[in-house]
Amino acid sequence: MATVKKVSAIKNNPKHLLGIQNLSIIEAKNILNEAKTFIKLNRSSSKKLDILRGKTQINLFFEPSTRTQSSFDLAGKRLGADVMSMNMGNSALKKGETLIDTAMTLNAMHPDIIVIRHQDSGAPNLLSQKVNCTVINAGDGRREHPTQALLDALTIINRKGNIEGLKIAICGDILHSRVARSNIYLMNMLGAEVNVIAPKTLMPVAVEKLGVKAFTDMKKGLDGCDIVMMLRLQNERMQGSFLPSKREYYEFFGLTPEKLKLAKKDALLMHPGPMNRGVEIDTKLADDINVSLVKEQVELGVAVRMACLKLYCK
């Protein structure tokens, strides 16, 4: 009897999407399969569904964001949810309100989903312990950005058919990047081989233990890669000197057409945006539709977020 009780207790708890680390491979594939069904819909002229009709979605953004926030905004609306976006900036903090206070206030309004972005790692985990609704992580500190990794995976699958057996290079500011971490976990889970490439000062300690090979030389790191994921140099997270100069960084770690040739012939380029053109990526390369998947990433982002909202809101 006791076990039966336990199961029902779990069922009543809302499920959260806090990170790829908490996902099973079945859950990840489930989201990706679900997302595929939305790609076509998003390209059609009538994009509205009523799957989430009557549900309330709050986008709680403590950090500025353009694409992630608008992507979640659209995703919710296309599924028929009532979406409210709140840009917290520093306003709540200035008034002395803690994350928990804000969460409790919003919780009292009975939302069904809270999508949160926060500058502190672990903030979505904390939030999920205190509210009665589903929490979806839209990026926390330098820890995880699960929907970005899922949309990256969907983009790759869309082009290459499969992720298993591919070799993927993630290059740039790995240390400060939640996108890198989520992608490392997800690509590994889906059977890819992952290389990370960064100057030593931007490489997290013990990164190999996450299941990657670490390189400081782009020549070696890009060798034989099918996908090259460039990361933004996160100047706003850098306190103190990590690099001598942007010029030197571009020289050694910026992606140019020449360096891309070190990877496989049909290698494709990805970037989570926003890009620092001329810092981590050659500007022409970024716009080259033959190799760059950047626009597709943004497009499929909406589909992935629709899938997450649908699956986690039930």
Partner 1 sequence: MEKILTNVRIIDPSQKIDEIGNIIIDEKGKIKSIGKKTKPSDASKKAEKIDLKGNIAIPGIVDMKAFVGEPGFEYKENFRTLSQAALAGGVTSIVTMPNTKPVIDNVSMVDFIIRRGRDKAKVNLYPCAAITRQLEGQQMSEFGLLKERGIIGFSDVNKTIQNTELMSRIMNYASDLDTLIMQHAEDYELAKNSCINEGEVATRLGLQGVSDIAERIIIERDLSLLSEFPCRYHINQISSKNSLKVIEKNKSNGIRFSTGVSINNLSLNENDIGEFRTFLKLSPPLRTEDDRLSLIDGIKKDLIDVIVSDHTPEDEESKRLPFAQAATGSIGIETLLPLSLELYHNKSLTLEKIIKCLTINPAKILKINKGTLKKGSDADICVFDLEEPWMVKAEELKSKSKNTAVENRKLQGKVKMTFLNGEVVYSN
Shortest gap between Cβ of 29 and partner 1 (angstroms)? 23
Q: How far is the CB of 219 from partner 1 (least distance, A)?
A: 25
Smallest distance, Å, CB 107 to partner 1? 14
Distance CA 66, CA 124 (A): 19
Pairing between β-strand 213-215 and β-strand 82-87 as defined by DSSP bridges: unpaired
State the virtual CA torsion across 279, 281, 264, 191 in degrees, nearest 10: 80
Shortest separation between residue 131's beta carbon and partner 1, angstroms: 13
What are the beta bridge partners of residue 61? 87, 117
**Which among 77, 250, 284, 60 is positioned nearest to 172, based on CA atoms?**
250
Closest CB 71 distance from partner 1, rounded Å: 21
Which CB, 129 or 162, lies closer to partner 1? 129
Nearest distance from C-beta of residue 182 to partner 1, angstroms: 10
| Consecutive H or E run containing 87 | strand 82-87
User: For residues 31 and 175, which CB has a smaller minimum distance to partner 1 in the complex?
Assistant: 175
Give the residues lining the site for partner 1 (CB under 8 A). 21, 98-100, 118, 120-123, 125-126, 140-144, 178, 181, 204-207, 209-210, 239-240
| 21 vs 158, beta carbon nearer partner 1 | 21
* CB of 209 or CB of 265, closer to partner 1: 209
Nearer Cβ to partner 1, position 2 or 206?
206
Residue closer to partner 1 by CB (options 21, 87) is 21
User: Is 96 or 161 the residue whose CB approaches partner 1 more closely?
Assistant: 96
β-pair type (268-270, 113-118): unpaired
Minimum separation from the CB atom of position 21 to partner 1 (A): 7
